[in-house]
Amino acid sequence: MGKYHELAEKIVKNVGGKENINSLTHCITRLRFKLKDEGKANDDILKNMDGVVTVMKSGGQYQVVIGNHVPQVYEEVVSIAGISADAEQESSGGNIFNRLIDILSGCFQPFLGALAAAGMVKGLNALLVFLNLYSNTSGTYTMLNGIGDAIFYFMPVILGYTAARKFNLNPMVGIVIGAALCYPSVQGGALQAAYEATAGADGGAPFSLLGLPAYDTFLGIPWVGASYTSSVVPIIFIVAFAAQIQKLFKKIIPEVVQTFLVPFFVLLIALPIGFLVIGPIISMATDLLSAGFQSLMSFSPALYGIILGFFWQVLVIFGLHWSVVPLAIMQITQEGFSQVLTGSFAASFAQTAVVMAMFFKLKDKKLKALCPPAIISGIFGVTEPAIYGITLPKKTPFVFSMIGAAVGGLYLMINEVTSYTMGGLGIFGVLNFINGDDASGMIHSFVAIAISMAIGFALTFFFWKDDAVEETAAKETAQKAMKEAVLSPVKGSVLPLSKATDQAFAQGALGKGVLIEPTEGIVRAPFDGTVMTLFPTKHAIGLISDQGMELLIHIGMDTVQLDGKHFEAKVAQGDKVKKGDVLVTFDIEAIKAAGFSVETPVIVTNTGDYLDIVETQNGEVTSNDTLITALA
C-alpha cells in the first residue's frame, strides 16, 4: 500500500466512485477526470480534503489539483478504481508508427511476467537435464516442459485476451478467437493430412493460391493452410478486425439480445475472414520480416550486436523495443530458437555496473542512497530505477552504459549465442542459452556480463566527475542567502496572480507568484539551476535554482489538451541550465487560434521556505528584468 493510498481512496469515492469514471489522465499538478456525471462528485468535500489543493472544472474535465506529487497519487487512483489503461492509450494520438508500438506494448506487457516465469521454468528444466539430474525422457522433464511450454504453445489464446482488452473487444470473445486458431483440426498440417486422405489421395499436389498450398475450401473459397499454435501476430490483427465487427453490430442489434447475438456475429464473420484472408497475409509478412532480420544478422553478426546493444536502452526508454520483442517471441515459439534479442542481453548489466561506479563518486547523499536498491533490481534485469532515477539525468554515465552494452552485444553475436526460450530477466536470463546438454551459450553469457560490467564500471569510475551540489546543501544556501532574484522567464505584461482565470492559481493554492501575458513565445531560464520537471506536453516546466528555489512556469491555461502541439522543448528533464538559456518555445497565435489562453503563471512552489515573496511593480518585463525577489 503506497503513501497516497488513503488519499486516492477518498478521491475515488468523492468523484462519484469508480463507476462514475470514464477515463483519467494527469498533468503536472492535477488529476484530470472525465466523469459520466459531474453532479455525483462532492466538490466541497474534495476541496477541503487534506492533500487536495482545490477542484476545477474545465474543458469537459473534472480536475482535482494535487501539486507536484500528482504522479504518485495518479498511480494509486488507477489501481483503486481499476481503471483500464486501454482508454488512455486509445485517446493518445501520434503517427502510425507510434500507434503500432502502442498497440504492441498494450498486447504484450500484461503477460510479460508470466512469460518470463514460464521461460524460467524451461530454463531450469534445461539446466537440470544438463546437470544429469534426470533425462529428457523422464516424467519430471515432461511435466516441467509442459508447464513452461504451455504459454508459448497457446500464445494466440493469451494474446486473444490482451488484444481484446486493447481494442475494446469482449475479452471472452478474444479468448475464443485465440482458441479457434489453436484448434487441432484447422492447423495446416491437419488440413493437408485431410486433403491427402481424400482429394489428394492420388498423390497429386494440392492446388495453389498465389503460390501457397491450399488444402481445403470454405463455402467453395480456397483455404490456405497454416499452423497458428505458437503464432504471435495473426491473432492481433484478427482481434482488431473483430473489434470493428463488434462495434458495428452493437449499433444495429437491440441491447436486450446483444449479450449472445453480438459475439455470434463477431465469431461467424471475423474467424472465417481471419482464416481465409488475414492469417495467410500476416503470416507471409511476418515470415518476410523474420527473413530480413536473419539476413542482417547473417551479413554481419558483429555489427548487429553492436547496434542492438548500444541502442537497446534508448529503444526501451521510447518504447521502440516493442518493434523487436514480438519478433523474438514469434521465432522462439515457432522455431524453438532466436538470436534477435541476444545482442541486448548485456545492457542491464552494463547499466548496473555504471550505477555501482556512481555510488563511489556521487556527492548527493539522497541520490547515493538510491544506488543500492537500483543495483539489486538491475542484477535481476529491472533497470528503470537506475535509468530514470540515476544515470539518465546525469547523461554521461548513461552513455557509458550504452558502450558497455554494445561491447557485450558484440561478444555474444560473434560467438553465435542463441536463445532457446524467453526466460527470466537479468541474471536469470543466462538459462535462456542452454540447449539440451550444450551449455556453451550460458558460459558465453557470463563472459559477456563480465565484459559489459567491467567496461561500464571503468568508464564511469575513471572518466565521470559529479559536479552536482547536494540538494541539502543547496537548501542550506537558500536559507543563508538574504534574498534571491528571479528574472522574468517570459517577455510580456505583468498581472497579479489573482487575475488568473484558473482559480487554483488565482487563489495562490500552488504558491505565490505573478501572471504574465506573453508577447513573445520564448521561455528562458530565470536563474542558474536544474530542470526538475518537464511535462511531456511541454506546456509546463519545473525548475530548482542552485540556491534551492523551486519555480513552476505554466504556459497557458488547459494547454495540456494540445498534447505538445505548438510547443517545442529546448531542454530535457535533469538538464543544468544557465540564466537566459532558452527552455521552451511556443506559438502564441496558434495556441490562441486553438481556443486556449496563453496567460502564464510563474509560481514559487516552495513559498513556505521564504519569509516573503516580492513581485515586481513593473507593468511590462523582458528577460533582463527582475520578476520576483524571494526573501529568506
d(CA 126, CA 132): 10
Which DSSP letter does residue 131 get?
T
Q: If we measure between CA atoms, which residue out of 101, 30, 19 comes closest to residue 64?
A: 30
Buried b (16+ CB within 10 A) or exposed e, 38-70: beebebeebeebeebbbbbeeeebbbbbbbbeb
Taking the CA atoms of residue 584, residue 588, residue 592 and residue 597 in that order, the dihedral angle to the nearest 10 degrees is: 60
At 179, give phi and psi (nearest 5°): -65, -40
User: Which residues, 6 or more positions from 166, have their beta carbon under 8 angstroms from its beta carbon?
Assistant: 86, 89, 103, 106, 107
- Which residue, among 140, 23, 5, has the nearest Cα to 73 in the 3D structure? 5
DSSP annotation of 438 reads B
| C-alpha closest to that of 496 among 610, 598, 618 | 618
Active site residue 27: yes
In Å, the largest CA–CA distance within the chain is 99
The 3 state secondary structure assigned to 341-355 is CHHHCCHHHHHHHHH
Residue 183: count of CB within 10 angstroms of its CB:
11
3 state SS of 75: helix
Cell representation of residue 544: 530548482
> For residue 83, what is its C-alpha cell?
481503471
**Distance between CA atoms of residues 444 and 620, nearest Å:** 67
Q: Are 352 and 358 in contact (CB under 8 A)?
A: no
Contact 4, 72 (CB under 8 A): yes
Q: Of residues 27, 107, 182, 371, which has the active-site annotation? A: 27
Q: What stretches of 443-586 adopt beta strand conformation (E)?
A: 483-487, 492-496, 512-518, 522-524, 529-534, 540-545, 550-554, 567-569, 576-577, 582-586
Residue 257: how many CB atoms within 10 A of its CB? 10
Residues 297/304, Cβ–Cβ less than 8 Å = yes
- Number of helices (H) and strands (E) in the chain: give both, helices first: 24, 21
How many angstroms separate the CA atoms of 203 and 210, rounded? 21
Dist. CA 107–CA 161, nearest whole Å: 9
Residues classed as catalytic:
27
